[in-house]
Structure 1
Amino acid sequence: MKQGLIGAFLFSVCMAASAQTPWPSYIGDLPRAVSESPVAAELPPQVAALAEDSTAPAEVAQWSGIWRGWACRTAGCDVKVAIRDLSATGATVTYVGASSLQTVVDEASGRFENDELQVTLKTGAKLVMRLRKDGDMELGIWRPETQLLSMGVLSRRPPAYVRRVEWLDTPFTENGKPVRLEMVIHRPEGDGPFPTLVMNHGSTGMGNRPEWFTLTWVSPEVSAFFVARGWQVVYPQRRGRGHSDGLYDEGFETDRSRYSCRASLSLPGAEHALADLEVAMAHIRQRSDVDAKRVVIGGVSRGGILAAAYAGLHPQEEVGVINFVGGWIGTGCPDAVKVNGELFKRAAAFPQPTLWLYGEADPYYPIAHSRGNFNVFQAAGGKGTFDVLMPPKGMDGHGTYTVQRLWGSAVDSYLGSLR
């Protein structure tokens, strides 16, 4: 019942100290993407217009100039870095990181070491950057030496996709007020119509951190993949999630202390979510920038099972379903087989093949449980493929949707098969 990664704004990974910076094994899988921060990082005026330094030593000249990008989970931090006054041993670095929680502006001298540019910030954290072969830059912030606080990707190239935020009117009212839903859209340049993936978010861990409810969820990894192939990706935020209006009411205990394990409370929460998705899909299908004959519905964790169930209830609206690590409540709940099986049975009415992508060592939906759900789905008449993904070192199976190389070929084949 958890989307294990979506709630974290800053995250930590502890690794053993070594002479090299302890980058996580999956750093190279992070895509060039667009920041989702509602607050823009603004460089100080004296460096905001900095150009690449033609006088810098040749071996370090590629570091100079203004770098823009993202950090934090789901690209929740906007980052800008200016690098100037380069020498063979170091450079002056101005760093700005902005998010809904805070804005940090820092400037310090950095040193080149082990093909990295390392900077100690005023907070005591270490900012480390290294260049990729394609010219982009990986960024990590550690404190102390081996605790990774945040990471992301910076670039001097144009953004990977166009980002828009829109507001969707709904028939819902709460406390006498109309409810609107937030939708984030990632798309190629142009007006379309585009083949469109509607990507649905999961939950927020145990449901006991209300501050996480207000974090808008997207997947820069999924967006970068689909937009590079000419697709548009739409992320509807259900009631009470992100900046959407309304009460987040997707299966809590009666005191709202956490998500409920009981089917009698959890399944009505799924119905609540499906009602939101019905409103979003009705709007999305009639948009002029959407190719209504090429709409795929997908999601992660709760979003994955929700997408599958919705497609079964509306079998003529989509041409495909992509379910990343889907389930409504995890196997720590006694009712997990009942709840997840009931929702996946609904999915079986969708007439086309579906794609199920699950990771080994998923703490919420182990492979044996998820295969059981797939068997229930097939026994009810559903069609699909069940793929098992091996997460990279340092990541559990619930996070495999963030690693394109694990699922990219399967998704390419699946998209190519759609009619």
Structure 2
Amino acid sequence: MSLSDVLILSVEAGAGHIRAAQALHSALKKRGIRSHIEDIFTCGPSWVFRFTIGSYMHMLHYTPGLYRKLYDTSATLKVGSLSKSFFNQSLWKYLGPGLKALLQEHKPRVVICTHPFPLGLLSVLKKEESLDLKTAGVVTDFSFHPFWIYSDCDRYYVAAEDLIDEIEKLGDKREKAVVTGIPIDPSFLTVTDMKREAAEEVAALSSASHRILIMGGSLGLGALDVWVNSLLLQMQNSDIDTWQIVVVAGKNKSLEERLSAIESPHLKVYGFTDKIAYLMASSDLLITKPGGLSSSEAIALELPQLLLSPLPGHEERNYQFLLKKDVARGASTVEELTKLTIQLIKDHKERSLLQEGAKKLKKAQAAYHVAEDIDKILSQTSVMGS
């Protein structure tokens, strides 16, 4: 008897990949399917995580142009194939033995990956050993990268129909893809039909006719305090009644302190919070960077989005996709952000247009759709190692 029917492997690079894993764990549990979540980097020395993710964060902060070049170059089919092979073999040297031990401990029949790194390691393992093990990738962005593509991967769960064509272009079979949406926390389903006043009460917010929610992801990235000061000044000079700006600083304590030092009765500041669903349900506009999870959460609640300049790589692809689908507008400067925010707050028709775009794209039940398909796969597979 296996300890887990499903092993969910992720990477704590930002909170999105882990949040998707947690949403899947909850959905699988509702179907009576045992699952366990593990960060793939726990399979090896701690320095491997610090070096790999640390290098990524360092490039994003200090040399974003270099990271963009590397991302775009590796996104081509030929270079992507070579670079991911080298990368996976390098990671396997340090994480492979731990991954083997993890699989022996849990004996799963299906392994789901919400990040491409563990999917790559599983591909190396499948080539080295004959395993009766199904693997699946849950893509947490609105685009595909070659690092997700492996001929021995059995299923890809994707955000939209558009991504199926990308899978085929990158050399894998389109029938492996299932359009489920990006898995989000069940709390977003809970608030879908909740009245604004009830959501405000849960989030400990005072009543406001117009509310702007600003987020910089779990790490609180971006000069949010600069944007907030500019918005407060312009909003005070506008003719908009009973408005409020809510900012989530995430785990960025320094940012939280700077925001909390701003004196305004129209400003409410949160650090890291589990009330995001209720904050979104209480808001008229979300200003954020285009992360796959946060955007999907807003889309599930049909909340119009104003996107900040994206990080290079996958966020730039998300940015382009979301603007194309008419669920968001974009701003690249503080002046443009301030101007568009006031326009969108005043223009109900424009916000309605963005809500319509979200309504067409939203897949709030994504986690349950993935769990349903996994249930079908489990019914067709035998216990690993039996």
TM-score above 0.5, yes or no? no
TM category (shorter chain) comes to: 0.3 to 0.5
The structure where strand makes up a greater share of residues is 1
Structure number with the bigger relative contact order (C-alpha 8 A, sep ≥ 6) is 2
Q: TM-score, normalised by structure 2?
A: 0.38
Q: TM-score, normalised by structure 1?
A: 0.35
The structure where helix makes up a greater share of residues is 2
